Amino acid sequence: MFVTASAPTSKTALPKDLFGAIEMLKKDLNAVVLAHYYQDPDIQDVADYIGDSLGLSQQAASTDADVIVFAGVHFMAETAKILNPNKLVLLPDLAAGCSLADSCLPDDFAKFKAAHPDHVVISYINCTAEIKAMSDIICTSSNAVKLVNQLPAEQKIIFAPDRNLGRYVMAQTGREMVLWQGSCIVHETFSEKKLLQLKMEYPDAEIVAHPECEAGVLRHADFIGSTTALLTYVQISVCDRFIIATEPGIIHQMQKQLPQKHFIPAPPEANCACNECPYMRLNTLEKLYWAMQSKTPAVTIPSEIQQRALAPIQRMLEMSAR
């Protein structure tokens, strides 16, 4: 992760109407606020666009705003910067990382690649710019199966860094892939046993799960998909109660769009709030305001890495549109 620009040292008093002040700053800066579903409800409510990683990348690729305020984690803002090297990309808290991105360091990944020389490298977007620069194709949870299916049957594949998504893609495509052994600390926290207890309590509920969950949770899911796909599924399903096996931030949109339906967060193993992503939750509405007001912290990437990381992202956007 490249961290150069720092947060403002002295913060001015917050305006009374933070939402109104952010709207004014959007106009002054010609800025767009892009937010992931795992962000706090307040941030989702002020965003111009809320989406999954693919939707956010597509928005970043097509925006004509001068400033992109990214309410998500570092690899997402970094992707926006790779697509827009000449724009200012702000991330309210630069420490908003990701356990998957942290699990895959460039030196180790170079050795892993060298051990499998005739393999194409498909990397989940949840990785750093350096790993993207070492990859052939980037994918997200919403297009991984589609992209793998487009490769010739004899093509050998490395899939990094999420082993759970990798296993899911292998099951869906029938393809063998060499998996990097990374995982998401949030999606690995769900308890299969507690999920089944909850299902006994609510037998009418459908279980929807993100493919970053472990196989033990996925095997009980009525539907598996990216955050956007989960949101679409609960809209079209005739069921009116759902157990949600992903970060519970998305329940804000589900509840907002479907106030008559019921959404129950899948329980974590321990008695904690560890189904909330600690990185995503570092961003707050206040930090978002300060970032816009001070135009910092900004995401920066060395141009050589940016240029190499751009091609596999563009390949993803092209293959995704097929």
Binding-site sequence positions for iminosuccinate: 36, 53, 124-126, 141, 210-212, 227
Interaction mask 165-204, ligand SF4, x per CB under 6 A: -------------------xxx------------------
Q: Which two three-digit tokens encode residue 236? A: 């079209």
Say which residue the tokens 């060395």 belong to: 302
Minimum CB separation of residue 15 from ligand 13P in Å reads: 30
Of 79, 103, 141, 164, the one binding ligand 13P by CB under 6 A: 141
Minimum CB separation of residue 280 from ligand SF4 in Å reads: 6
Identity of the residue, 185 or 229, whose beta carbon is nearer to ligand SF4 in the bound complex: 185
Q: Give the integer Cα–Cα distance in Å for 280 and 277.
A: 5
Q: Which does 185 bind (CB under 5 to 8 A by kind): ligand 13P, ligand SF4, none?
A: ligand SF4
Q: Which two three-digit tokens encode residue 296? A: 């910092």
Identity of the residue, 227 or 293, whose beta carbon is nearer to ligand 13P in the bound complex: 227
Minimum CB separation of residue 251 from ligand 13P in Å reads: 14
Of 88, 243, 247, 254, the one binding ligand SF4 by CB under 6 A: 247
Beta partners for 137? 122
CA atoms in the 13 A half-sphere facing the CB of 133: 18
| Contact status: 53 vs ligand 13P (CB under 6 A) | yes
Determine the angle formed by the axes of helices 303-321 and 74-83, rounding to 10 degrees.
Answer: 90
Helix (H, G, I), strand (E, B), or coil: what is residue 34? strand
Say which residue the tokens 């956010």 belong to: 56
| Contact status: 279 vs ligand SF4 (CB under 6 A) | yes
Full DSSP string of 63-127: ---SEEEEES-HHHHHHHHHH-TTSEEE-S-TT---HHHHT--HHHHHHHHHTSTTEEEEEESSS
* Residues near ligand 13P (CB under 6 A): 52-53, 126, 140-142, 184, 210, 212, 226-227
* Residues near ligand SF4 (CB under 6 A): 38, 73, 98-100, 126, 184-186, 212, 247, 277, 279-280
